[in-house]
Amino acid sequence: LLPPDVYRQAVSQADLAISITDPKARILYANDSFSRITGYSAEEIVGLNESVLSNHTTPRELYQEMWTALQAHQPWSGKLLNKRKCGGTYLAEVSITPVHNAAGEITHFLGMHRDVTELH
């Protein structure tokens, strides 16, 4: 019913920052809102790990909690202090979902976030 191009256009044009990574959080795709919020163009960010967004002030336990959920095939959501390419920080409300293949293995992660700095 829905032409395949519409999925692509919808993700590309979504107001949320959307990225798709490999199982090690290496970015394979980022939409326009991701570039707008982070300051990285799609060309710059593809191939880098999502950890480039880390401001390195988020407690390690939070990342451990994130990865424990993701490895258990569960989605994770929470707030992270992120760093833009230019260096400024912002509070990101992040949601990460494991993407499975037909065999039930995690092949990718879908990351979605928005800048909630002004709401706090």
Nearer Cβ to ligand FAD, position 3 or 104? 104
Task: Tell me the two tokens of residue 9.
Answer: 């256009």
CA distances from 120 to 63, 79, 92, 115 (A): 22, 11, 11, 10
Binding positions for ligand FAD, 18-47, rule CB under 6 A:
19, 21, 24-25
Nearer Cβ to ligand FAD, position 13 or 51? 51
Binding site for ligand FAD (CB under 6 A): 19, 21, 24-25, 49-51, 53-54, 56, 58, 60, 63-64, 67, 71, 80, 82, 92, 94, 96, 109, 111, 113
